[in-house]
Structure 1
């Protein structure tokens, strides 16, 4: 477990922000987004940070110059990213492909990577110095659009490739609503849930920790599960169920309160004829939800939570996505519920840790913290990472009120110890 008690302090000297435009002329057009892209819950930014170690074979190549040139070249292939998001009729989003550019800031810091310790994990000290908003850039409308595949293309081009290995597929028509819209699933993730008990916690009372799960820790966690769940559940399902149960116990809600477990599921894994093509760079994920009472979640074994996650997660396919698109049009892009909800997203397949910009793979690559602004403690990410011993695993940043974090740490510690009789309540 990593905590936010680090005393490291440093100063960052930023050069003036510049605009990077596509390296060659690109089309001028207005591209409507899909009805999945439109939804209110996706109109936010998630900061990502990449740490790289200096390599002797870099020679005199200047990292900012390498990245800036790669961005310009990548924007030729992914030219909508150089445009701006606009809102058109019906609260719908579109990209105005203006070639206006993206923002680029070069900076120097009086700190070395080894000052961050042996294990690079969120929360990072002095994060506000490393990741910051350029004035006027934090809104969604009027700003560029950025997705994971663009990062991969940028890294390939930085290494000298003539074009991306996976050619970009826009194809937003794949996830447009039908006419007339006809949602075929319940989609409880978009229910309007009244916040009758003040479930949004204060930002002033938040503690931040990260939890590492390597092969040994995951095997120990699985030892606490019912045999059938132990053998059939994926790592994502095991961790999500454990996090949901331990977080609920830590928050100690009233027994009759309904608790919502929302997880991001990527429909690209659907192997049907209507599958999402490789290279599609729109949003192709859903927010399925498992719901149960706090009493059932806390009183049952952790296998109960994992089974709920498994059942709901496996509903997601392309038909589910089309149903979501229909609902977005029918109900004017609702936000997924945040009341008594917890959201988990696995970014392990986003492959942040594989992004090589000439000087090798990152020492850490992924989201900067747990949570989705401006709602504290709403979400956690499962991030591929190494621990201080260099072992591969998954790190999970968590944000909770201080006293709840103490209880959460205690229960997670029990799950990561060999099974004993006195821990059977988990």
Structure 2
């Protein structure tokens, strides 16, 4: 996969031998069963994230790698399942063997400054494989570390924390809770402000399991109806407040107050579908993750760090998406989003339980996924050097994009969206975005949108 970037950067990284960081106090040796939501085959992958930090003169003489390593060992006392290993039970159900084998940790030094990564920090990052080294078996799901962290110290005094976590164990909100606890320990706290809660049974299917919704997010395609995943190109696109304001002018009055998420999701879905050049009669799906914590009655405990989301799907044909205005796509996204309830999550859990051979997310050609991390607060994680100047997913994951908070060259806060497409489709996608300016409502406004 190629990753176009405005930055041409090469640097050398010197790594220490990987260590296994274990809880710094004895913890319970037991087996914990993950929830039916955790246990989805679609979550059996390793998710990479990256955090960039500037030099802080008040921390002179302190080694960020040692500070984070010590705080990690302290935090794992409370989050001891993350120091264990995933096993597969006799019925195929995943179980966490809490055995204190530890988290993989790497200290590294790079002969590069933070400024050399460019004015805009957004995926794809040049030489990311240097910032998160791969080791044999470290990307497996079973019987391997559930978390890999590399702290790379830069010659300017800043540093980069890159990590890869097993998505079966937690979602983005849960990971942020864990990383924030490490930050609090690093800054001298003895107990984190939010204590972890396991309670994975809260997201199990009801007994007996009942599938109460049509889950098109798990529709499977025939082999001839899939899109090849070779020759992929990744690019990021920035959307600031001014650009989103321009897009709102394309909506009818009754949709003028739709959320930023609904507007941007609908817009990208429409543009991407056009760029994919699919058969007009094909059905396409827009899948997006919705946090379910507040959907439960009572809400899930604040310290719950497991996967607590579902992925409802908006669905229509290519023809309907192309021929109707942007507002039509916004309404489809709103309708799918409104279906997300506690009952919907339980229905997903039931579907996973009934279908013993668990379903992956949709493989239908044209399916597109979005995960919005702009409100999670990864950038607030502070190990003593202040907030991160960039924090979030390190790349798009196949056909899944992320909404990531970042800044452009002018310092304007906005949303960066990394997108992966086959090279010809990426070229068409870029042109489709630019062609928005040709809409009659915007033609008179000389605005450089992209």
Output the TM-score relative to the length of structure 2.
0.88
Aligned equivalent of 1:381: 402
Q: CA deviation at 1:191?
A: 2.2
| Secondary structure of 1:382's aligned partner | strand
Instruction: State the alpha-carbon separation in 2 of the partners of residues 212 and 45 from structure 1.
Output: 26
Instruction: State the alpha-carbon separation in 1 of the partners of residues 271 and 43 from structure 2.
Output: 27
Aligned equivalent of 2:198: 170
Q: CA deviation at 1:321?
A: 0.9
Alignment of 1:351 onto 2:377: yes
Alignment of 1:230 onto 2:256: yes
CA contact (8 A) 2:437 2:443 kept: no
Alignment of 1:249 onto 2:277: no
* 2:209 equivalent among 173, 178, 181: 181
CA contact (8 A) 1:30 1:95 kept: yes
Q: Which runs of 5+ in 2 are unaligned?
A: 147-164, 446-450
| Secondary structure of 1:310's aligned partner | helix
Alignment of 1:30 onto 2:31: yes
The range that moved more, 15-24 or 347-356, is 347-356
Q: CA deviation at 1:143?
A: 2.7
Q: How does 1:85-104 map to 2 (within 5 A)?
A: 85-104=86-105
Alignment of 1:284 onto 2:312: no
CA contact (8 A) 2:251 2:327 kept: yes
Aligned equivalent of 1:420: 442
Alignment of 1:21 onto 2:22: yes
Q: How does 1:21-420 map to 2 (within 5 A)?
A: 21-145=22-146, 146=165, 147=170, 148=175, 149-202=177-230, 205-231=231-257, 233-270=258-295, 272-332=296-356, 333-340=358-365, 341-370=367-396, 372=397, 376=398, 378-415=399-436, 419-420=441-442
| Secondary structure of 2:375's aligned partner | helix
How many equivalent residue pairs? Answer: 413
CA 1:255/1:134 → structure 2, altered by over 3 Å: closer, same or farther? same
Q: CA deviation at 1:349?
A: 2.4
Could you report, residue by residue, the CA deviation over 1:6-40 in whole angstroms, capped at 9, with x for unpaired residues?
32111111110011000111000000000110010
CA contact (8 A) 2:219 2:364 kept: no
CA contact (8 A) 1:21 1:72 kept: yes
Instruction: State the alpha-carbon separation in 1 of the partners of residues 434 and 58 from structure 2.
Output: 42
Instruction: State the alpha-carbon separation in 1 of the partners of residues 144 and 377 from structure 2.
Output: 25
Superposition RMSD in Å: 1.8
| Secondary structure of 2:86's aligned partner | strand
CA contact (8 A) 1:383 1:396 kept: yes
Could you report, residue by residue, the CA deviation over 1:87-116 in whole angstroms, capped at 9, with x for unpaired residues?
113211111000111000001111101011
| Secondary structure of 1:76's aligned partner | coil
Instruction: State the alpha-carbon separation in 1 of the partners of residues 45 and 19 from structure 2.
Output: 23
CA contact (8 A) 1:217 1:416 kept: no
| Secondary structure of 1:255's aligned partner | coil
| Secondary structure of 1:420's aligned partner | helix
Instruction: State the alpha-carbon separation in 2 of the partners of residues 283 and 366 from structure 1.
Output: 17
Instruction: State the alpha-carbon separation in 2 of the partners of residues 120 and 36 from structure 1.
Output: 33
Instruction: State the alpha-carbon separation in 2 of the partners of residues 407 and 88 from structure 1.
Output: 47
Instruction: State the alpha-carbon separation in 2 of the partners of residues 109 and 407 from structure 1.
Output: 37
Q: CA deviation at 1:169?
A: 1.0
Instruction: State the alpha-carbon separation in 1 of the partners of residues 34 and 379 from structure 2.
Output: 28
Q: CA deviation at 1:3?
A: 4.3
Q: CA deviation at 1:422?
A: 9.1
Q: Which runs of 5+ in 1 are unaligned?
A: none
CA contact (8 A) 2:220 2:363 kept: no
Instruction: State the alpha-carbon separation in 2 of the partners of residues 416 and 159 from structure 1.
Output: 49
Instruction: State the alpha-carbon separation in 2 of the partners of residues 291 and 304 from structure 1.
Output: 12
CA contact (8 A) 1:193 1:337 kept: yes
Instruction: State the alpha-carbon separation in 2 of the partners of residues 88 and 201 from structure 1.
Output: 32
CA contact (8 A) 1:220 1:415 kept: no
